[in-house]
Amino acid sequence: MSTDKLNVKLNRFAQIAQLGEIIFHAKDLANLWQIKSQNTLHTALSRYVKKGLLFRIYRGFYAIKPIENIDSYLLGIRSLHAYAYISTETILAKAGIISQVIDKITFISSKSTKFKIGNNWYISRKLADKFLFNPAGINEKNGIMFACYERAVADMLYFNPKFHFDGNKLINWNKVKKIQKQIGYFNF
């Protein structure tokens, strides 16, 4: 390998390291590396995957670690490639408010979709932007947005007003109503 090609490759991975991210869409890498040609980008990514420098999650989606070494929440959020937060069944099960075994990670985003990556199943419920971007009851942890359980209850009631909560007595209904009002769920 020529010195120029080695320098380009080292520079590209130095740029990735500076971002502090481990998951990328091909278009993000094209922008970062200022590659305009799809063929050049595809060739570079294919070579990096073959050499074990990048791991292909699926077409157009890559990581610097194997998927089994990536947080499943982060993997799902980055796959959506849009603002999203974890809510509804995932949060409610963790809080003991629903007792069913939840085998899918549930998101709220601007997309309605179901997908699988590795051994993880995901569901994303579409929420109108005027509600989605309201920060009431949303907390960030390690770069991932999570609904508090009261926000998750409010979200669930928005999507299914007749939803049954097993742990009904565990719910702070005053706080749920306050969050519903802050978000504007009563005004639709």
pLDDT above 60 for 4: no
Q: What does the pLDDT look like over 154-181, one tens digit per residue?
A: 999 999 999 999 988 999 999 999 999 9
Q: Tell me, what's the pLDDT at 188?
A: 47
Q: What is the mean pLDDT of the chain?
A: 91
Q: Tell me, what's the pLDDT at 166?
A: 93
The secondary structure of the chain as a DSSP string is --HHHHHHHHHHHHHHHHHT-SEEEHHHHHHHHT---HHHHHHHHHHHHHTTSSEEEETTEEESS-GGGS-HHHHHHHHHTS-EEE-HHHHHHHTTS--S---EEEEEES--EEEEETTEEEEEEE--HHHHT--TTEEEETTEEEE-HHHHHHHHHHH-TTPPPTTGGGS-HHHHHHHHHHHTGGG-
Binning pLDDT at 50, 70 and 90, where does residue 32 land?
A: confident
Q: What does the pLDDT look like over 71-116, one tens digit per residue?
A: 999 999 999 999 999 999 999 999 999 998 899 999 999 999 999 9
Q: Tell me, what's the pLDDT at 2?
A: 57
Q: Percent of the chain beyond pLDDT 90?
A: 74
pTM: 0.86
Q: Identify the residue with better confidence: 126 or 6.
A: 126
Across the range 44-73, mean pLDDT stands at 93
